[in-house]
Chains A and B, each alone.
Chain A
């Protein structure tokens, strides 16, 4: 089982769209896939039309009184399941802080289902906190969507520094940054992309365009591959998944 977390310190960069669309593509290829929506906003849960409720709340999962498997809901797509968000996740940091070995909690919960899935996507809330650190411990890969703008680049550098300063925390964690919401008509986007690629050659090559097709996910409440198969944005996500697989 490979655990991929879509993560960025900054919000609104396309984390949820990435988790939802990549998980849908992976599942459609016959893989058994789980998405765990850790963001109390519950956007991934909304996209899959699942009610944002976990029996006993997120606390029960963190404490181990609720098996992760008991919180799982099937989505409308074959091979693709979801642990829905719960508004109580806003207290996740507090519960982790109270728990013994807080950084191992998410990893421990995932171990309960490791034989059941090929890929798990963790859709993380924006911030850098105890929850994020617990995710870093649990994940094999951080997928970091980054908009080619000043603030986004700044947060990417922040993450880079954090990883450098905490080698014990991240251990074998791979970080796959990629450009998201790219508008190639904007000179600034093009310039930032060139600069960052020079500084960070490890960035993935595929970019995700800024597209209304992706925004329409909120209207359709489905992954783009379900309603916009063949669109440029859908093809970009397929290419992104393909590149990720070759690097895994």
Chain B
């Protein structure tokens, strides 16, 4: 299985990317030794109003506010990303010179003004300073490619103690793509080494003042993983449904292959996260691939992918809990100063057991045979020719129907949910939301972009609330279940702290549930319904209608003034 470029095999390029190519390793941040926490700001209001809350209510000190045009640079082989570093180019919008920052996990490795006003395209264009020398060695002769540029407002703030010493740094980042689309505002908290408790308290206070949702995606991730980018995929509206489905499934397979070695090693939970997202998306495409994909293959692979998702779930849950629990405990006053060692040991043992079991399954004959069969299926042209009634139909016409069906199902079932509905109804609705979202995201470039962004963002917000509800419920149950494994049981010093955390999670679940009606209401609107209908219209139509509506509103306001 590992002899060639097999799917999910740690023998190909993905494996190479995991190896740091310099003799001297670049370790992760020391100053920011606690992992940063990242949120999407879902509160109403613009950059200035969120910033005002941070400074006026939370008394954070502004260190800098920049308005810049920026992008991220990497080689075609993603050398920098493979080394867990990133190179960012910033050009101040008002005045000032462009600069380059090379960083790893929040730690600045090198920062300097650019040699020229143009974007660097290779190592020779990097600033001539000692700190950039290591980057030069890493890049070698490879060319640097730039991501899409975005315009950003970035505030850097500090939380200070009574000595005016920084205990945590906070960034607020509001970015806009060249097409005017505003990316979700991102707030990140970087705990400083030795001040983890203060950072946890700050995180709690920020959450109390500003509506936030945890997010894995940085602004860079959003720009680089933008499925609506023209260059990111080979999808075209002229493709047949079978070709488009096959193309999308191949890209998801590449993601799984790239993260597989990391899933097995367990060194970075992000690999398992990426792997699982790709698995879930693949399942959606198989589910909605009726009459596009060969029915026998579709049934077989749906079954196998469901199994693949299931065997990775316990490890992912354990990863999340291991990461979240110390933060949760730090944020709950009853458990803040309690010695949690015994529970953390239980948690770590549980995580290690889950990982061992998962790796055994992933190295099983079943997984190997399934992986080979899947690759062969994707590579076999015959398997994709005349394989279903809609296989040769234009992809857009198939998508129109599938998206419409998934949208109507979500709205219909969402409307049925009341305060008395059981939790399972919300969990089912979350799955339906995922299905719709993946149908949109996997074929992003094929949709009318204005309509696409109009529908995707409120859908993500709805998913965030449903996700928070389900995750907190699952975590509350899991911590209590694990607490039962403590040797001293309820008399263990950490038991009460675990109970306090479970209570806190339960409160969060209740809060998420109470938010459901509001976010669902924001999704179930005439405007979004119209946007769903426009999804497969050419972009110009929508622009025209927008212009028309703008003209109409201008005319209306002119009439008003006249009156």
Q: Which residues of A contact B (CB under 8 A)?
A: 29-30, 32, 48-51, 72-81, 115-117, 221
Contact = CB atoms under 8 A, between A and B. Distances in A.
A198 to B, nearest CB: 34
Contacts of B107: 78-79
B195 interface: yes
Contact of B33 (A74, A75, A117): A74
Interface string B126-156: 0001110010000000000000000000000
What class of interface size applies to chain B in its complex with A?
20 to 34
25 contacts: A29-B129, A29-B130, A29-B131, A30-B109, A30-B110, A30-B130, A30-B131, A30-B134, A32-B27, A72-B30, A72-B193, A73-B192, A73-B193, A73-B194, A74-B30, A74-B31, A74-B192, A74-B193, A75-B31, A79-B30, A79-B107, A81-B193, A115-B27, A116-B27, A221-B164
Contacts of B516: none
Interface string B155-171: 00010010111100000
Contacts of B108: 30, 78-79
A221 B32 CA distance: 21
Contacts of B129: 29
Contacts of B161: 51
A218 B233 CA distance: 57
Interface in B96-110: 107-110
A74 B165 CA distance: 10
A74 B32 contact: yes
A77 B166 CA distance: 9
Contacts of B110: 30
B195 A74 contact: yes
Contact of A79 (B31, B134, B164, B195): B31
A73 B109 contact: no
Given A73-B195, A74-B31, A116-B27, A49 B165 contact: yes
A86 to B, nearest CB: 14
A222 to B, nearest CB: 10
A49 B31 contact: no
Interface string B355-390: 000000000000000000000000000000000000
A115 B24 CA distance: 10
A169 to B, nearest CB: 31
Interface of B: 27, 30-33, 107-110, 129-131, 134, 158, 161, 163-166, 192-195
Nearest to B164: A49
Contacts of A81: 30-31, 193
A76 B166 contact: yes
A76 B61 CA distance: 13
A153 B163 CA distance: 37
A32 B32 CA distance: 12
Contacts of A29: 129-131
B194 A72 contact: yes
Contacts of A74: 30-33, 192-195
B30 A50 contact: no
A74 B129 CA distance: 25
Contacts of A117: 30
Contacts of A80: 31
Nearest to A32: B30
Contacts of A73: 192-195
A76 B165 contact: yes
A47 to B, nearest CB: 11
Contacts of B194: 72-74
A74 B163 CA distance: 14
A86 B108 CA distance: 29
B266 to A, nearest CB: 21
A197 to B, nearest CB: 29
Contacts of B195: 73-74
A229 B361 CA distance: 59
A43 B369 CA distance: 66
Contacts of B33: 74
Nearest to B28: A116
Q: Which of the listed residues B32, B33, B110 has the most CB atoms from chain A within 10 Å of its own CB?
A: B33
Contacts of B165: 48-51, 76
B399 to A, nearest CB: 47
Nearest to A77: B31
Contacts of A49: 163-165
A217 B71 CA distance: 37
A245 to B, nearest CB: 9
A72 B33 CA distance: 11
A42 B379 CA distance: 68
Q: Which of the listed residues A30, A72, A78 has the most CB atoms from chain B within 10 Å of its own CB?
A: A30
B333 to A, nearest CB: 20
A24 to B, nearest CB: 13
Q: Which of the listed residues A48, A73, A74, A116 has the most CB atoms from chain B within 10 Å of its own CB?
A: A74
Given A30-B131, A51-B163, 8 more contacts: A32-B27, A32-B30, A51-B161, A72-B194, A73-B192, A74-B195, A76-B158, A76-B165
Contacts of B131: 29-30
Contacts of B32: 74
Contacts of A221: 164
Nearest to B194: A73
Contacts of A32: 27, 30
A11 B80 CA distance: 48
A108 B163 CA distance: 32
Q: Which of the listed residues A29, A48, A73, A77 has the most CB atoms from chain B within 10 Å of its own CB?
A: A73
Nearest to A84: B194
Nearest to B106: A78
Contacts of A116: 27, 30
Nearest to A70: B194
Nearest to A117: B30
Nearest to A118: B24
A32 B27 CA distance: 10
Contacts of A72: 30, 193-194
A30 B136 CA distance: 14
Contacts of A48: 165
B119 to A, nearest CB: 22
Nearest to B24: A118
A206 to B, nearest CB: 18
Contacts of A78: 31, 107-108
A33 to B, nearest CB: 9
A248 to B, nearest CB: 14
A64 B162 CA distance: 31
A81 to B, nearest CB: 6
A229 to B, nearest CB: 14
Nearest to B103: A78
A40 to B, nearest CB: 18
A78 B163 CA distance: 19
Contacts of B163: 49-51
A1 to B, nearest CB: 12
Contacts of B109: 30
Contacts of A75: 31
